[in-house]
Amino acid sequence: MRGFWWAHIGWMTSTRNFPTDYERVKDLARYPELVFLNRFDLIVPACLALATLGFGWLIEHIWPASGVTAAQMLVWGFFISTVVLLHATLCINSLAHTFGRRRYDTGDESRNSLLLALTTSA
């Protein structure tokens, strides 16, 4: 049993999930733009980080009284917000796989029905 941490982030960082097996997801391979984003998955976050840094630089120079710097905008607007959003999203997955009912025989200990368990337990 892999447990909570596997459900939270282990599955996503496991080397067994890289590279993508297009034989298992044939519909993904039909869209070249998705294949491109899958292969170069750091492009979008890098562009967002640069845009956030540039926006911070713009605020720093247009409105210096705000006290905002480009570095602050990068740290808070990109790094911290991305980490919080990622872990909040993954927490839903972790809780749903750890608590609740087993509606289907999956061969593991995952639950997959947290919402159903919460609504029917009252």
> Domain coordinates of the chain in residue numbers?
3-120
Closest CA to 71 of 49, 48, 45, 46: 49
Mean pLDDT, range 41-50, rounded to an integer: 95
Task: Give residue for tokens 């159903």.
Answer: 116
With residue 37 as reference, give the H or E element that holds it.
helix 32-39
- Per-residue pLDDT tens digits for 52-71: 999 999 999 999 999 999 99
Mean pLDDT, range 21-28, rounded to an integer: 89
* pLDDT > 60? residue 115: no
67: left (phi over 0), alpha (psi -120 to 50) or beta: left
What is the pTM (predicted TM-score) of this model?
0.70
Query: Percentage of the chain surpassing pLDDT 90?
Result: 48
